[in-house]
Amino acid sequence: MKNLYFSSDEFDKNAILNYFMNELMLQENAALSVANLVRKKLKIGSKIIVVCGGGNNASDAIAAARMLEGDYECKLFFTTSNLNENCKTQLKIAKQIGVKICKNLSLDGVHCIIDGIFGSGLNKNLDEKTLQMLNLINNVDALKIAIDFPSGLEKNGRILGACFKADFTVTMGVRKLGLYSDAAKDFVGEIVCSNLGICESKFASEDSDFLLELDDLKLPNREVLNTNKGDFGHAFVVCGELSGAAKICAKAALKMGSGRVSLVNLNKQGINLDEEIMQKDSFKGADAIAVGMGLGKAKFDINEILDIPCVVDADMFYKKEILSLLHKDDAILTPHPKEFASLLNIAEFGNFSIEDVQRSRFELAREFSKRFSPVLVLKGANVIIAKNGVLYVSNLGTPSLAVAGSGDALCGILLGFLAQGFSPLDASLNGVLAHQKTALSYKANSYSFTPNDIIKGLQWL
């Protein structure tokens, strides 16, 4: 895992006050990271335009242009004449080196555009002039590098009208949480963390959120030789009106290593099951239960599962019975944004629309996890796992996973981990990574990916 922080402002201040650095030293190191990236990606002699605002983000950008001038043809374009003192200092040096300033933004023949307009300090919607400029820049075929934050993206990960579409974002000092929002995913490109002259363990505090990596995936193991199916858990899946969702969940739980998988059919009609899946008429003997997927209007006694670890999904988030599960330490909740909005309303957390949820995913997930006991797995382009106010973000999901039944397969994967004795948090972290890795490993065209491919992919993790 890598650490994620909301902001590095306090860390910058600490470096200045306690490590006897100054802002210009930090900016030199920031600029060097940008310049080094350009040298790796761009041929000598290429044309670079550096678009600058008037703050410290622009100071980093100007310093980078100065470092590159001579080997590259660098020009500065300013969106404002109101420059802070650091900016003025960096501009004075850059001009002496030979970096030119252009009065009009001309992008003809440009090979690289560096964004030093706002950084993470943006706190209001962009004006029309800036919107037009960003749309113009985004349509240019050139290497695009954002400094700290792509302009138009604010600290909470919201897009304020438009956004610079970067190939690379060089974030300064530490990785920022806002770069990993759903809205940011199409704009940040590859995220590179710059060392500002102090290693992260000295620069930042220990309290953080976390970014998941594939190396964090811990799979079930069967290293003990003297064992039997009972040692790997009995997973139960509640089947309601739409049996297909329950079947997908059950097959995923089995493939993820559950020793046994049974389906409790609440539907009056019979269903055909794979021979590996058993059918039960009660929850007796369950080590873990998945409920909600395809449930519809089917009913069961919620009290029967209160003492059993469970994965809760889909239709359960529209039922008041969900309130009985909100204080279970051994539960995992897996809503998508619409379902989460309903859950927040039922739990009297607040009246939120889908748009509200998407604008405030980090804040709502954090506060919900502080108030309620289960692990929250908030689905989206970048999945958020929240427990006790700490966020774990996985940005490894691909568009291939945007297919009906994908969430049912995820629930089965989580159920498989839970039935085998993983804690709800560990089951969630590993389950999300396993789910996403099946898509990353898929070799065929992305549009052809199905829940069955997720299930098949589990055997190759």
Residues tagged in the binding site annotation for K(+): 57, 115, 151
Q: Residue 137 gets which letter from DSSP?
A: H
Binding annotation for (6S)-NADPHX: 119-125, 148
Q: How far apart are CA 46 and CA 31, in angstroms?
A: 18
Buried b (16+ CB within 10 A) or exposed e, 116-150: bbbbbbbeeebeeebeebbeebbeeebbbbbbbbb
Nearest CA-CA partner of 456 in 441, 191, 94: 441
Q: Are 73 and 102 in contact (CB under 8 A)?
A: no
* Short-list 404, 393, 332, CA closest to 362: 393
Distance CA 182, CA 161 (A): 15
What DSSP letter does each residue of 320-364 carry, written as one string? GGGGGGTT-TTEEE---HHHHHHHHHHTTS----HHHHHHTHHHH
CA-nearest of 409, 406, 410, 405 to 385 is 410
Question: Using CA of residue 169, residue 161, residue 65, residue 91, what is the dihedral sign?
Answer: negative
Residues 202, 410: Cα–Cα separation, whole Å: 38
**SS3 assignment, position 207:** coil
Helix (H) or strand (E) holding 390: strand 390-394
Residues annotated in the binding site, as ranges? 57, 115, 119-125, 148, 151
Are 295 and 318 in contact, with CB atoms under 8 Å apart? no
